[in-house]
Amino acid sequence: MSSRGATPGSFHRTGTQNSIHHQHLTLSLRTKRRPSVHREYYHKRLWKFLRLVRYAIRVCLIIRKYAIDSLREQKEELCDNTEILFDLSKFRRPVEETIGRNIRKILKSNPATRTEEDVRLAVVGLGQTISSFTEFPLQRQYALARIGVLEEFERGRVILREGHRAKNFYLIVDGVTDVYKLRESPTTHTVSSRLVAALKKGSSFGEVALINDQRRTATVSCHTDVTMLAIEQEDFIKIFMSHDTETEPDFITFLRQIPQFRGFPIDKIPHNNPNICQVVYYRAGTLMCKDSNEDEWIYIVRTGSCRVIKALTQVTPKLKTLKKPRIIYDNFGSQRVSEYSMKALGTFSKPKTPVAAARCYTEIEQIREKSVFGLVSVVFGQLKNALSVTLVSDGAECIRILKSFFIKMTPESLFDRLRREVRPYVTDEELQKKLQREVDWMAYKNLLVQKIYNRNAKNNLTTALNY
């Protein structure tokens, strides 16, 4: 047979060629048999996908444009998603607001040329950008906008110096100022300037020196470029310390309603003399009286409120910590003191290293409308160990009467009645004892809560280990 004579190699080559030819023929037949319907189907799918991509790009561009416009107009609102329970705008950098160009132009112009419409626009513009400006009564807001002049100072400029005569009152509209005071070294006796405060937008300075007719107590310089509303001394007196010389002022009528002034010759008060009687408005945070024993004025609160505060020496808890709670019995010998009592629990021990005594301030009382401050030193004179307190305004309009004039014009019968009605403040020693008791009580409460917490945590751990 012819197959016997064939070699294995020739047989393999022949079989390989036949198989390749067979595969090529099969592939060509499959390609020819594939219908054109599949090509058109995938072509339509591809065009749909491209259209969706194009629409998605358009939507993204529209959303991006809307977001940019909303940021520029600063009209972002709280997200409607109920899962977000806070305002996202609070975590963004705040934008510094300032008065517009029209308001600046009005305030830089001559006050004599300003119309009522200009004054109204200035009041609205200052009230929208400076929140502290709205603390003034509305009548004084219009007066400030009608008379005030906008002044601009460059960085590093000294606005006023310590020891100079007070001439202007300033309200900061933009910028930051530094307040310096001269300090003398106790060792070298050299005088140096020390930074004591920084005043920002909305702060004011210079009113205390104008009210008390004193020299400047500090130096103010510009930390940045500063824009301020300046009021001259004469205009400040007209706005904040005005008096009607023709008819009886309304504050004289108000004094007739004060119980402490019954029997006082109010008709003899020279209401047109600011050296004896004044009506002054103090902004919130203004120091009205630093030392009640040394101050020469009596303060009658007409509107608003004030705080009477006292500087004390800061103390630490003095109760000693006990290693083991003592068993204390009462007089009958039957009832034991609880292990959580102050004597059994103890508190912090005294510090080993001496700590410099620090100052703290406590509020003694808050005086409101028709309250009188300063009568203690008038009625009782310079008592031994008399408490010296400080008066700070919370935004109040007060009537000030000179103490020497009040003493001179007060009849003896009124003095006798005031000695029975006016109560002096407690001494410094009593206030220090009250402060010590308050500190001990707070320390005891903290230790008691910590002891109960540790006991409950230990019981919970023991219960968990038993299971």
> For residues 64 and 77, what is the distance between their CA atoms, to the nearest angstrom?
16
Looking at residue 426, its pLDDT comes to 83
Q: What are phi and psi of 170, to 5 degrees?
A: -125, 140
**Domains, in order of start, for the chain:** 101-238 (2.60.120.10), 241-316+357-425 (2.60.120.10), 320-354+433-467 (no CATH)
308's tokens: 């009477």
Give, for 288, the enclosing helix (H) or strand (E). Answer: strand 287-289
Record the pTM: 0.59
DSSP string, 100-159: -HHHHHHHHS-GGG--HHHHHHHHHHHHHH-GGGGGS-HHHHHHHHHH-EEEEE-TT-EE
What is the full per-residue pLDDT of the chain (467 aa) written as tens digits? Answer: 444 444 444 444 444 455 555 555 554 545 444 555 577 878 888 888 888 888 888 888 888 887 777 766 654 454 444 455 666 566 665 555 778 888 888 898 888 889 999 899 988 888 888 888 888 888 888 988 899 999 999 998 988 888 888 888 899 998 999 988 888 777 777 877 888 888 888 888 888 787 777 788 889 999 999 999 998 888 887 777 655 555 667 888 888 889 888 889 888 888 777 788 888 888 888 888 888 888 889 999 988 899 999 888 888 887 665 555 555 555 555 555 555 555 555 544 444 454 556 778 888 889 989 899 988 888 877 555 678 889 999 888 888 999 989 988 988 888 888 888 888 888 888 888 888 888 888 888 888 888 888 888 888 777 776 66
Q: DSSP strand E in 133-241: where?
A: 149-153, 158-160, 168-174, 177-184, 191-199, 204-205, 219-222, 226-232
- What is residue 351's three-state secondary structure? coil
Q: Which helix (H) or strand (E) holds 364?
A: strand 359-367
- Residue 328 · residue 343 · CB < 8 Å: yes
Please say whether the beta carbons of 179 and 219 come within 8 A.
Answer: yes
- At residue 372, the pLDDT reads 92
- Phi/psi of residue 95, nearest 5 degrees: -95, 125
Show Cβ contacts of residue 107 under 8 Å, excluding neighbours closer than 6 positions: 99, 122, 145, 148, 149, 150, 229
398 CB contacts (<8 Å, ≥6 apart)?
279, 280, 281, 282, 288, 299, 300, 301, 302, 306
Q: What is the CA radius of gyration of the chain?
A: 42
Q: What is the residue whose two structure tokens read 């902004």? A: 283
CA atoms of 213 and 166, how far apart (whole Å): 7
Answer yes or no: are the C-beta atoms of 402 and 320 closer than 8 Å: no
pLDDT at 283: 82
* CB count in 10 Å sphere of residue 264: 19
Greatest Cα pair distance, the chain, in angstroms, is 161
In DSSP terms, 377 is beta-bridged to: none
Place of tokens 């112009």: 109
